[in-house]
Homo-oligomer: A and B are copies of this chain.
């Protein structure tokens, strides 16, 4: 690993002068990145960094994955259509075909695909609008610590007050419900949900739908149990509501299966996908809708970039390359187990402050303090690892390595996390002792 002492010397003048104060991740990583390959980022001075952030889950197949890159370059060089609104293109046909063959058919799933503006929040907006129209009701249930984007419609379903308070207007049409485990291990929160929906005087208007993440990425890696998800689906059926799974972060293999709910025994009516859907980090988002609920009129929901053909090309290629059989999924599950074990071990050594959380390759350590988790992430970066925190207080160190990462690089990342954790906690003990003295 290169010496990090010089890291701080990057000339950030252009950013400081010209970029809005809203910029955020860059503050934790004050270097200028230039290249990237697989699990590694390189800054403009050639220093390399192992990437456990992976585009917040958008780079499941690693940076500039060579299989996808070749297809993309070839497509561009042949003047393949780049931008097509929602016109029919060969690339789109191939993406739809791959999705159908590799994903839908083996799972016996029947969905139609809505191409929305290529960001997760656009897909969520579309999903919410569709659900409300299908059921002719305005209310939607969301969950504590859920994150679904920051455009006004999606943000109403996002729990985080840091984002909500910036709306500049009240957020309406969504009611927040307690997620699995929110009230402690002994309380089944679906009972509360069921109760308020069954009680005609609860003050909770009959919802059109519930929107849920099976694992809450931004919310701190809370993983809902399959039983809880089944209960939720049961409630949706009992109360004539649509079940929307927002699989933007947890989907595309992150939890060990293509859909995060593949083994949960549920059948969502609407699914949103984005982040790693293009496989290459290109903007892309879709809404999968059971055909009976595809009640859109032509053009009702539109957007200029819903035909991002580069993403169709890399998206189709990623499906055909990684999901034709279960080999890749098994690899991810195997690495997920490593991740679980190693994080449990690290957390176990500091059990007074640390708890391991998550599912598949979407895991982290809850340090109960945002300040502490941040300090560890900061130290990790100095040691060559790009890693971020999540959760309501940014208290969870969040590991999202590329799914294609090598075992060796994975171990290298674990070692840095362990070392950073140990050093930061040791440093605190020392200081605490000194203060006490």
- Rounded to whole Å, the gap between the CB of A384 and the closest CB of chain B is 15
Which B residues lie within 8 Å of A145 (CB)?
199, 201-203
What 1/0 mask marks residues of chain A from 1 to 35 whose CB sits below 8 Å from any chain B CB? 00000000010101101111111111101111111
The 3 A-B residue pairs with the shortest CB-CB distance, nearest first, are A132-B168, A83-B281, A176-B203
Q: For residue A149, which residue of chain B has the nearest CB?
A: B303
A152 pairs with B151, CB closer than 8 A? yes
List 21 interface pairs A-B (beta carbons < 8 Å), by A numbering. Answer: A15-B93, A18-B96, A21-B295, A22-B296, A22-B301, A22-B302, A24-B298, A33-B90, A34-B90, A41-B81, A44-B90, A64-B79, A117-B117, A125-B151, A144-B199, A149-B303, A162-B300, A169-B172, A174-B203, A200-B392, A310-B310
Q: Are A152 and B132 in contact (CB-based, < 8 A)?
A: no
Cross-interface CB contact of A83 among B59, B77, B79, cutoff 8 Å: B59
Alpha-carbon distance A302/B205, docked complex (angstroms): 19
Beyond the given A22-B126, A164-B205, could you list 13 further A-B residue pairs with CB under 8 A, ordered by the A residue number? A18-B96, A18-B100, A20-B294, A33-B88, A55-B85, A64-B79, A69-B77, A121-B151, A121-B303, A132-B168, A159-B201, A162-B299, A192-B192
Distance in Å: Cβ of A213 to nearest Cβ of chain B? 13
Q: Report the stretch among A282-290, A351-359, A407-415, A428-436 that lies at the interface.
A: A282-290
B304–A119 CB distance below 8 A: yes
Task: Give the docked Cα–Cα distance between A392 and B29 (Å).
Answer: 48
A274 lies within 8 A of B88 (CB): no
Within 8 A of B (CB), among A183-208: 183, 187, 191-192, 195-196, 199-206, 208
The complex places the Cα of A89 from the Cα of B26 at a distance, in Å, of: 9
Interface residues of A in 114-157 (CB under 8 A from B): 114-115, 117-122, 125-126, 128-133, 138-139, 142-146, 149-154, 156-157
Mask of A54-66 contacts with B, CB within 8 angstroms, 1/0: 0111110001100
Contact A202 B58 (CB under 8 A): no
Given B19, B131, B295, which contacts A112 in the complex, CB threshold below 8 Å?
Answer: B19
A369 within 8 A of B: no
Interface residues of A in 158-185 (CB under 8 A from B): 158-176, 178, 182-183
**Measured between alpha carbons, how far is A301 from B168 in the docked complex, in Å?**
12
B144→A32 contact, CB < 8 A = no
Q: Kindly state the separation between the CA atoms of A414 and B133 in the bound complex, as whole angstroms.
A: 42
* Pairwise interchain contact A33-B392, C-beta atoms closer than 8 A: no
Let me know if A340 is at the binding interface, CB within 8 A: no
Contacts of A268 in B (CB 8 A): none
Instruction: List residues of chain B with CB within 8 A of the CB of A34.
Output: 80-81, 89-90
Which chain B residue shows the least CB distance to A177? Answer: B203
Assess the A303–B25 pair: CB atoms within 8 A: no
Question: Given known contacts A114-B20, A183-B195, is B64 in contact with A82 (CB within 8 Å)?
Answer: yes
Minimum Cβ distance to chain B for residue A31 (Å): 7
Q: Which of B99, B289, B304 contacts A55 (CB 8 A)?
A: B304
With A and B bound together, what is the CA distance between A44 and B91 in angstroms?
Answer: 11
Please determine whether B58 and A83 come into contact, CB atoms closer than 8 angstroms.
yes
Given contacts A129-B166, A161-B206, A201-B159, contact A120 B64 (CB under 8 A): no
**Interface assignment of A238: CB less than 8 Å from any CB of chain B:** no
Chain B residues in 8 Å Cβ range of A169: 132, 138, 170, 172-173
- A67 contacts chain B at the CB level, 8 A cutoff: no
Partner of A303, one of B41, B142, B150, B392: B150
**What residues on B are CB-neighbors of A86 within 8 Å?**
23-26
CA distance A199 to B145 in the complex (A): 9
How far, in angstroms, from A26 to B81 measured CA to CA in the complex? 14
Question: Shortest Cβ distance from A387 into chain B, in angstroms?
Answer: 13
Q: How far is the CA of A129 from the CA of B121 in the complex (A)?
A: 15
Alpha-carbon distance between A112 and B19 when the two chains are bound, in angstroms: 5
A205 to B164, CA, bound (A): 8
